[in-house]
Chains A and B, each alone.
Chain A
Amino acid sequence: MKYLLNILLQVNWSNVEYTFEDIRKSIYTFPVQIRILLIVTLIFIIVILFLLGIIMSSRIYKTLRHNKRVEIRKKYQPIFHQLIFEEAQSEERIRNKFTNSDLTIALNRETILEELIHLHENFTGETAERLEEIYLALNFDGDSLNKLKSKKWYFIAKGMKELAIMNVKSAHPEISKFINSKNDILRMETRIALMKLSDFEPMAFLNKETEPLSDWDSANIYNMLTKMPEKMIPDFSKWLNSSNKDIIVFCIQMIGRFRQRESVKTLLLLLNNQDERIKLTVIKALRELGSDEGEESLLVLYPLSNNNVKNEILKTLEFIGSEKSILFLEKIIRQPVEDYPISIQAIRAMIAINNVGNKLIDSIFSQAGPQLQLIIQHARDKRL
């Protein structure tokens, strides 16, 4: 570095063709190449100023919005409190409690709506119903329905969410139009809204569903189902013939989770399905159902399966296996170890059967080599 510095210091800068002052004066005499560079630099500077402007405006907007929210919250908190916890009032009297400008200025109106939604998320029962009345009295349902007409998916989803939270059942037909939307978030919001707004068949959308259903979607639908009264949970076996494979998988999962034991026979038929995902889901569901009638089918399926399916079968046998499985499991345990999880799982299934299984494992342990002994010790340690 020092060497480079010395070179720079030795340069006779007076020999250089232009000084800074010359450059300034003769800017128009510069070659085209240089002028282009100068123009691009100028554009960059303008862009920097523009970006700075956006950063500052964003800060100001965020502060203003925050202040407005605080102001509205402060102003209407006592009114909301009064409307929620005191006697029910007519729509007109509700409306009169709000300043006209707050109901007409878009930002204020949106802030009031957000506050209502926020409150509704924290209440149930009569209090939630009161909030729904306020929502209707202030014609927010119109705002939400208008959002459904937007071309932007996030406005539609927002409107849908508001209508679902505020229990606007009349919006059901409008919302159901989006069930096969190409946008996955919109599809998800549609399903949730339809589930919330349906009185009789919350899962009717499964009849129309043609788009894929991911694990994420399933988790969301399941989450909604857990919040519903038991009588609303449908018999999921009616969708096991769906042309949409994702729906079949989802319904098998739900049969297991909601312990719909009457569907076991249908599930056993699906063990012969060519699709591995369906097969695996059925085996897991049989485990959740504690369905011992599946034991024999699983023993038949085992030799025809790959390691993934084998492992899942053994996990299920740990829960539903009986003495019928002992010989079968012993054979797996005694054969040379090919796959550690399978050997460990076979031992666990054997131990779970009853004392006979446990004693047999003791006997295998005493005859086993170090590898199998380690596997047996591993399988027996409940922490592993």
Chain B
Amino acid sequence: MKSGIWPPLLLGAGILAVWEIYVRAAGIDPLLLPPPSAVARYLVGNARIMVTNGAATLSELLVGFVSGAIIGLSLGILMQVWRWFREAAYPWLVATQMVPIPAVAPILVLWFGFTIVPKAATVALMCFFPVAVNTVDGLSGVNPELIRLLRTFGAGPWKVMSMAALPSALPRIFSGLRVAMALSVVGAVVGEWVGSTHGLGYLMLHYENRGETAGLFATVAVLTAMGIILFFLVGWVENWAISWRRYAKETL
């Protein structure tokens, strides 16, 4: 992981080169598979459209991700503090993940219209689960000896939670947040497919209907880049929040 940014870039460039050569040499119909150069030209030529629609998708995604993360974290904490709540709620939380999201999204549009709400809600619906599950696992992994020690200092359950359980659960919580971030891109696009007037998901449908395959590819490229940047952003925040980890020879 430490060898830097060059190996993945080189590999990516290699794949693009093979793609370009193959499409040109085999004379593939650009409606089926446009060469990367055509996609790049499209991207540059339609930069404004990409940016405005990208911004729309990004805001839906961030609102959904943040609310999903807050909901997941709160549910995780409550499930850890109240055992009965954990037992009562867990099967239902699993059930929310068994519901096919594309089937729920139209209902959300029906309720909230062509606004940001159904998209953000779709994202949040997909995000909260990995955060909640990882929070519960992380919180229950706290060293019981540490809890006993804090109790001899007179600490109550909330003090134990904030001083010991939450900090020691942070690595697990961030694992959940990274998974959630990866899912939130899917959530935002699905939310837009069901009903929207702008956004990258909307743009994809638009290009598909018009047979502009290069535009479709360009949109996917923007979406992918956005997802990657957001994913690494979470990792960056994680390294900042858990900066002590490099000193921890053993975990508590």
Partners in one complex: no
